[in-house]
Amino acid sequence: MNFAIFNKENEKSEKLKEQIKERLLLSRLNIDEENPDVVIVIGGDGTFLKAVHHYMNKLDKVSFIGLRSGSLGFYYDFVMDDIDAFILSLKENAFTTSKHHLLECDINGNIIYALNEVRFENPFHTFACEVFINEEKLEKYQGSGLLVCNELGSTAYNKSLGGAVISNDLPLLQLTEIATIQNNVYHSLGSSLVLPNDTVLSFKGDFNKTVIGYDHLTIDSNHAQTIRVYASKKTITLLKPLNSSYIKTLTRSFVK
C-alpha cells in the first residue's frame, strides 16, 4: 500500500509530517506522493479540502484519512497524541470506509466538483434567480445568495447559515438561503430544504458579478444564465478508525 502525506504549511504540521513519514518508512510502508492508495492529511478542514482537490483526478483510486494538527477539524478522528494508534491502524489496515458523492456543478458546460458545498453570492447588489427542483419551479429568490451542500458539507458554512446538520450516512442534498429578502413583494421558502440525492437543482437568472464558490475555491460565472447542481457520480472514500462515532465527532466539534 502506497501513502502520500498532504499537510498544512505551518511548522507544527511540517514536523508532524516528518514524524509520520519516518514512522511509515520504519514500518516498511511505502511513500508515493504521485500515485498513493491512501492520502494522509495533516492540518484542519481547509487542508482536507485542498488535499481532495489536489487528488481530484485520482479519487477513484485513493482514500483519505486525517490527522488533526490544530484545534478544529470535522474530517479528523486522530489528533497529534494518537500517532502510535494511527501508525498501527495504517500497518494493520484497521479502518472502516465510507463513500460519499461529491457535488457536481455545471456552469455553461464547465464542470466543477465540491466536497462540501457550492454557493452563489453577490457582494455588489441583490442576487436574484429562479430556483427549479428537477425542472419544476420552486421560487424566485432575492437575497445575498444560495448554497447547496451534501451530507458532508452540512456541518460547514451551511450550519453557520442555520441549515440542518445531516448525518454522514444519509446521502442528501440541502439548499440553504443566505440573507434572504422577505417582504410583501419578495417571498421565498425562507428555510433550508433537504432533498433526495438524485435531485437536480437549477438556478436561472443573471449571474453577472456573482461569486461562485466551491469549497475553498471560486470561479467566474462566465455570463451564465443557468447553473445546475447535483450529486456527482464521482465519489470520495474516507477512512475512519474502527471505533469511530459520528456523535463523538459532533460533540467534539460543536459542543465541547
Q: Is residue 172 part of a domain?
A: yes
Q: Are residues 177 and 209 in the same domain?
A: yes
Q: Is the pLDDT of residue 1 over 90?
A: no
Query: How many residues appear in the chain?
Result: 256
Domain termination residue (choose one: 46, 71, 93): 93
Is position 142 within any domain? yes
Q: Do 195 and 112 belong together in one domain? A: yes
Helix H or strand E segment including 26: helix 11-26
Select from 50, 66, 93 the last residue of a domain.
93
Residue 123 confidence class, pLDDT cut points 50, 70, 90? confident
Residue 70, pLDDT above cutoff 80: no
Confirm whether 37 is a catalytic residue.
Answer: no
For residues 77 and 109, state if they share a domain: no
Considering the domain boundaries, does residue 255 fall inside one?
A: no
Q: Residue 108 belongs to what domain range?
A: 103-232
Q: What is the pLDDT of residue 155?
A: 95
- What pLDDT, on the 0 to 100 scale, is given for residue 197? 96
* Active-site annotation holder among 32, 37, 45, 77: 45
| pLDDT surpasses 90 at 36 | yes
Q: Counting Cβ atoms within 10 Å, is residue 188 exposed (0-12), middle (13-18) or buried (19+)?
A: middle
- Residue 101 near residue 150, CB atoms below 8 Å: yes
Q: What is the pTM of this model?
A: 0.93
Residue 171 and residue 79 in one domain: no
110 & 164 share domain: yes
Q: Are 7 and 43 in contact (CB under 8 A)?
A: yes
Averaged pLDDT score across all residues of the chain: 93
